[in-house]
Structure 1
């Protein structure tokens, strides 16, 4: 569908891409990953035609259409309703609707056969394009992205940037381009909306390229990972978890090859140094010099999995109770956030506050910090000192300071060596520490602000969306830092991987109360699923009370169901059908592995140089897909038999 061949792109004298190649196939779901600044968004803009490569080419089939969701769309404003903006996706249907309205208006004054014929033709085309259902499709997607029905007629300009981005995403999804490019689509979505987009992308009929720092979103949506590194596009035939395993294996192989080559180079250089003055060895010396010159040097493996080696300490131990709310109520006019809510946080609690946008999570953090007045009682525990991190606090960084000065201001008792160690943990090394705050990117400012929070010696942290604008490496650093932190904290985040790795309790707001689940996020998801709620984070279903206390080692088992009695004949048939299901699942797994191997061959630019080999691989791919479809069909039939004999 799209072929990227020998692509090079330069920023000044630095090569973002150097002879990079990639083949994008129809229906492929690609996760484009890499450190900040490696050129992921630049590649999307080149595919979209906004930037031109300095060398190489990007070619695509004539029927290829592209939809591109990027952060620039945040600035778009209009007085049109969000439903109207989303329906701009149906350009031809809108034109036909306008023609129908015009003809009907003319017929009110002059009812003649010519108008009737025109109306019939236009209505036929409108019907063929499913024009009568486009509004319901737009409404369904907007509501899936979190908009209330009452919001659909409100002007776009009245919504914040994050909500405007959702409208633009809805418009793109309705257009159904053959290639959908999503640049950080989860940045402005809450958990229910993220899960809705996941399901949509999974079933999307076209190809998708996603740039995201949300590991779980990538794992749940992509079948291919492309890593931008060293100016190349490195292809991995699997999701993000597969990429991590495969890259580790490739790194081990590369490390061994690098060490072997270095040993050979040292041996060759010793030979040259020893015999370069001997006339009898001149031919051998010259031969080895030329061999060194011709040698394709293997790069040393760079470990990108940064580790935190710093102990974040505080001097004052808090009492048993860190924080309490008693009969706390908070409302903005008619919008009630809390109503006589009661909650207690104890020393050592590491809490993730989750849920849909608009439920009041950030408000609760401000209530805890004392920044929001409430009815009722708010109590901080004995010897509790807290600090608050939120995105708007990036503006409080002193732009005239360099990085060392900013951290020194946060904790004057630390030595320069200690501060450099902290900066190193947050990926600032060498002369980076002398950078001025004003020249930092949004992600770099976030890392500095987080470093200041952890240096504050507070024993209680309040963190509002701390992973926004952080790449995966930085998120991993923050996870390690919080895992080592010995105090207590409350974190608001929509990043499920992050929450799973840093929280030992889950808070959620329901019925205007703060309710607690005493376990990890994964256990919480299981607990919700077992009770038949629609999703682990959806708050549409009502639970009458908070979950019962349980051990943290495993989720509480679901209530047992009555045992059903089967006849011997049914039991035998069910056993036979289940055996067939197991056989077919093994077959499907084997075929899917073979399919990924062939797709990896098709992704290699080299194979397109040999038409005979390409034809052979294409035929193998077609045969394999046919076998896979047949096995899947048989598996579905077998599963239906299993279910039939079970009922």
Structure 2
């Protein structure tokens, strides 16, 4: 379907790809991974043709269509409703609908035989494309991505960047391209929406390339991993977990081959040094020299499992309780976030706050931080020093500072050597510490901000979506740092792997209250599954009780019984009359449909209009008769329950 052959691409003087190859077949589901800056998003833009390769080629089948979800779409704004924006995916269907409307409008005043042919062709194609269901399909996908029914008619411009990205994802999914390319689709999705997208991808009939740093998402969606490393693309069959095992095995083999080759090189070099001055050995020496020149060098294995060796200390130990929230309520107008809720954070708590977007997780972090006004009491514990990380705080970085200067201004007494060591832990090595903030990518700025939070000597951290824009290596570093951190923290995150590694308690918002599960994320998931199962089992019980209650016959006296019997008799007579009326209307409807199907009627516009009007009138009468029949039947059933 699509083939990348011997691809080379330079970003300035730096090669991103050098002789890279990748072949994509129909229905392939590929996870594209690699460290930030290795060129994952660039590869997707090369495939779309936005960038041109310096050498090599990308060829695709003639019928291959490509859909690309990228972060640039966040800037798109319009006054159109999100439903209309999503329905732009149905370009051909909307064109046909417009043509049908124009032909029908023209036929009202200026009838021509050619219009009948046009109308038939347009309607046949429109129906074949499923044109009558496009709105229902768009609504289904938008609601699957977390929008409420009321949201669908709201203008796109009213939504935040993350929600706009969901609309663009919905539009892309509705287009159903033969190759769907998704660049970090989970960055702006909550857990329910991520699970919905996982299910959609699993049932998607085309090929998919997804760039993601969410391990669980990759495990649940892809069937192969394409790793960008060393200007090449290495393909591994299986999901991300299988990739880790396979890569470990490949690295072990490569390491052995590298060490064997290095031993051979050293031995050859010793022979050349020892005998190069002896004429009797000159032929052997020259042979060995040429052999070294021809040797295809095996690269050493690069250790990508970065380790955090710096211990993040704080000087002040807090008391037993970090924070108490008592009878806290919070609302924005009619939108209630919390209502008379209570919560306690104790020393040593590592809390993950999870759940759907719009429930108030970020608001709760601001309440705990003290920056959000509330009703109720917020009691900070003794000697608690907090530090708050959120995405908007990236804007507070001084863009003219170097990385080193920015950390120096964090207010700690750490030496320059210690600060450089910390930056090294966050993948900024050697001279990179002298880069200015303004040249950093979003992910690099996130790493600087996280480093500032972790060296602040705070004993209580509040982290809002800290893994957004971080590659897997950076997420791994953050996990290690938080696992070593001896203080307390509360983290908002939708990254299930991250949460499973760093949390010993789970918080979630339900019924306007803070609910707590005292265990790990894996245990929480099992508990939630059992909870759902128990709810499903218990759900029918109230209905059974209601039925039994309804089956209890009221006690009627003789006079009431006689009156009820007379009413039943009248209603049965009405039912018989309605059934006779329905039978006649159905016969009239069948005759009307027969006349409308007669090709001759299309030669007489006035007759066509009259027959259409007559058909609609019969259909309305039939619907009313059926509705009345149902209502009378229900009334009879209710009266009969008394006997």
> Taking structure 1 as the reference length, what is the TM-score of the superposition?
0.81
CA distance 1:184–1:534, change in 2 (3 Å) = farther
Aligned to 1:284: 284
**Bigger CA radius of gyration:** 2
Question: C-alpha separation between the residues in 2 aligned to 1:329 and 1:250?
Answer: 55
CA RMSD in angstroms, aligned pairs only? 1.8
SS in 2 for 1:387: strand
Q: Once structures 1 and 2 are overlaid, which stretch shifts more, 323-332 or 430-439? A: 430-439
Question: C-alpha separation between the residues in 2 aligned to 1:241 and 1:522?
Answer: 17
Structure having the larger proportion of residues in helix: 2
Aligned to 1:46: 46
SS in 1 for 2:105: helix
Aligned length: 539
Question: C-alpha separation between the residues in 2 aligned to 1:533 and 1:378?
Answer: 36
Aligned to 1:66: 66
Aligned to 1:530: 530
Aligned to 1:495: 495
Question: C-alpha separation between the residues in 2 aligned to 1:518 and 1:234?
Answer: 42
Question: C-alpha separation between the residues in 1 aligned to 2:288 and 2:117?
Answer: 86
Mapped contact 2:412–2:455 kept (Cα < 8 A): no
Aligned to 1:176: 176
CA distance 1:189–1:340, change in 2 (3 Å) = same
Aligned to 1:83: 83
Question: C-alpha separation between the residues in 2 aligned to 1:136 and 1:111?
Answer: 33
Question: C-alpha separation between the residues in 2 aligned to 1:400 and 1:54?
Answer: 34
Alignment of 1:213-362 (within 5 A): 213-362=213-362
Aligned to 1:637: none
Q: Any idea what the Cα deviations from partners look like across 1:232-265, whole Å, max 9, x if unmatched?
A: 1101011111111111111111111111111110
CA distance 1:38–1:287, change in 2 (3 Å) = same
Aligned to 1:578: none
* TM-superposed deviation, 1:101: 1.6
SS in 2 for 1:4: strand
Q: Structure 1 regions of 5+ residues with no counterpart?
A: 544-647
Q: Once structures 1 and 2 are overlaid, which stretch shifts more, 8-17 or 61-70? A: 8-17
Question: C-alpha separation between the residues in 2 aligned to 1:532 and 1:251?
Answer: 43
Q: Any idea what the Cα deviations from partners look like across 1:154-196, whole Å, max 9, x if unmatched?
A: 1112211111111111111111110000011111111111110
CA distance 1:179–1:217, change in 2 (3 Å) = same
Alignment of 1:502-581 (within 5 A): 502-532=502-532
* TM-superposed deviation, 1:534: 11
SS in 2 for 1:8: strand
* TM-superposed deviation, 1:117: 4.4
CA distance 1:328–1:533, change in 2 (3 Å) = farther
Aligned to 2:7: 7
Aligned to 2:548: none
Question: C-alpha separation between the residues in 2 aligned to 1:20 and 1:107?
Answer: 59
> Taking structure 2 as the reference length, what is the TM-score of the superposition?
0.82
Question: C-alpha separation between the residues in 1 aligned to 2:434 and 2:123?
Answer: 68
Aligned to 2:634: none
Alignment of 1:81-480 (within 5 A): 81-110=81-110, 115-480=115-480
* TM-superposed deviation, 1:339: 0.5
Q: Any idea what the Cα deviations from partners look like across 1:210-232, whole Å, max 9, x if unmatched?
A: 00111111111000100001111
* TM-superposed deviation, 1:35: 0.6
SS in 2 for 1:35: coil
SS in 2 for 1:280: helix
Mapped contact 2:412–2:457 kept (Cα < 8 A): no
Alignment of 1:583-602 (within 5 A): none
Q: Structure 2 regions of 5+ residues with no counterpart?
A: 540-643
* TM-superposed deviation, 1:113: 5.7
* TM-superposed deviation, 1:436: 1.7
